[in-house]
């Protein structure tokens, strides 16, 4: 099996690097020239604490050099999804290629569907975490219970998807073909919509946001309730009380965790607000469910992005 990772950042590299030992070929596609040069020269360096693994894999920033793959894993940020799919269509995605998106939030599938038949699309999410330490070097930061859930968009589990699940589990990526993936995605959205965003706005960790500061907890709680309302309108079994318990359980499982959106803001990079709060607002409007706090948070993040170069420095 040949696997191409489209968007070999922290998470894409984690999946591509992990799978390299059990598949015939892995191609890591990135627009970051320093990353491509480092991987091709020194291999992909994967560390976790004192453990270090150097993976031999091919990297490229030229869409024509990827070549047709059996599986294409899409792991770019929401804002880069369209460009990533357009690049992948050049040589990577053929008529039999399984296109797997494990990207954050919702809305990515709608873009992918414009280019790829539904029968080739698999969507889901992963709770693994990883950080970029330097060109061609990632640090795996996963802790606690983790999972990678996937489901075919057309509901038909192909032999290729079953094989991919098996290969992922051989390298401890905790894969599961999950019919309830939509509900699982929305449970993850509950956390992302309040904690990723509010931590980025306030520049705090999840413990300070949800436990140590009553004022920010009240804002987060309203966001959680609004997301739960939208999920229930979609027919998902996520009550307000269950939603709040879920977010608090996740928070307590990762004390002091700093969401990735905080670093996006600190580094003045584009966030994934489009596939999180903005996508929830869009879905709420479609279903007639008001989401005023979710929308306010989205507007604040967009305002922060718009003022990166005008921020007052003390």
Q: Give the domains, in start order, of the chain with CATH numbers.
A: 2-179 (3.40.50.720), 182-310 (1.10.1040.10)
pLDDT for residue 50: 93
Which three-class secondary structure state does DSSP give residue 272? coil
pLDDT for residue 87: 97
Q: Which two tokens stand for residue 273?
A: 């607000």
Beta bridge partners of 48: 51
pLDDT for residue 141: 85
pLDDT for residue 254: 83
Which three-class secondary structure state does DSSP give residue 149? strand
DSSP tag of 268: T
DSSP tag of 192: I
Q: Which two tokens stand for residue 52?
A: 């270090």
- The percentage of the chain sitting over the pLDDT mark of 90, rounded to a whole number, equals 92
- DSSP E strands: which ranges in 104-208? 121-126, 130-134, 137-140, 148-152, 175-177
Q: Which residue has the tokens 């460009």?
A: 83
The pair phi, psi for residue 257, each rounded to 5°, is -65, 140
pTM of this prediction exceeds 0.75 = yes
pLDDT for residue 253: 85
Low-confidence ranges of the chain (pLDDT < 50): none
- CA nearest 201: which of 286, 261, 275, 113? 261
Residue 120 vs residues 159, 235, 242: alpha-carbon distances, Å? 12, 25, 34
pLDDT for residue 312: 79
pLDDT for residue 314: 62
């Amino acid at each position: 099996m040949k696997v191409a990772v489209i968007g070999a950042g922290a998470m894409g590299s984690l999946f591509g690097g992990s799978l390299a030992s059990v598949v015939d070929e892995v191609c890591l596609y990135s627009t970051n020239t320093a990353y491509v040069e480092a991987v091709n020269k020194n291999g992909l360096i994967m560390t976790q604490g004192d453990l270090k693994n150097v993976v031999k894999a091919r990297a490229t920033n030229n869409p024509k050099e990827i070549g047709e793959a059996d599986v294409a894993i899409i792991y770019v940020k929401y804002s880069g999804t369209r460009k990533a799919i357009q690049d992948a269509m050049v040589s990577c995605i053929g008529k039999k290629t399984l296109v797997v998106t494990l990207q954050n939030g919702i809305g990515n599938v709608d873009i992918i569907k414009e280019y790829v038949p539904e029968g080739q699309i698999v969507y889901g999410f992963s709770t693994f975490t990883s950080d970029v330490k330097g060109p061609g070097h990632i640090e795996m930061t996963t802790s606690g219970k983790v999972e990678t859930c996937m489901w075919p968009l057309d509901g038909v589990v192909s032999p290729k998807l079953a094989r991919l699940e098996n290969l992922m589990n051989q390298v401890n990526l905790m894969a599961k073909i999950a019919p309830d993936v939509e509900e699982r995605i929305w449970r993850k959205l509950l956390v992302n919509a309040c904690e990723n965003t509010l931590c980025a706005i306030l520049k705090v960790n999840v413990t300070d946001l949800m436990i140590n500061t009553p004022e920010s907890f009240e804002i987060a709680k309203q966001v959680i309730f609004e997301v739960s309302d939208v999920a229930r309108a979609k027919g998902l079994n996520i009550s307000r009380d269950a939603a709040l318990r879920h977010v608090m359980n996740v928070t307590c499982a990762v004390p002091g965790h700093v969401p990735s959106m905080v670093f996006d803001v600190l580094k003045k990079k584009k966030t994934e607000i489009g596939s999180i709060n903005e996508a929830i607002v869009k879905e709420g409007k479609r279903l007639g469910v008001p989401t005023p706090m979710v929308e306010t948070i989205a507007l604040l993040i967009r305002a922060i992005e718009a003022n990166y170069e005008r921020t007052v420095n003390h």
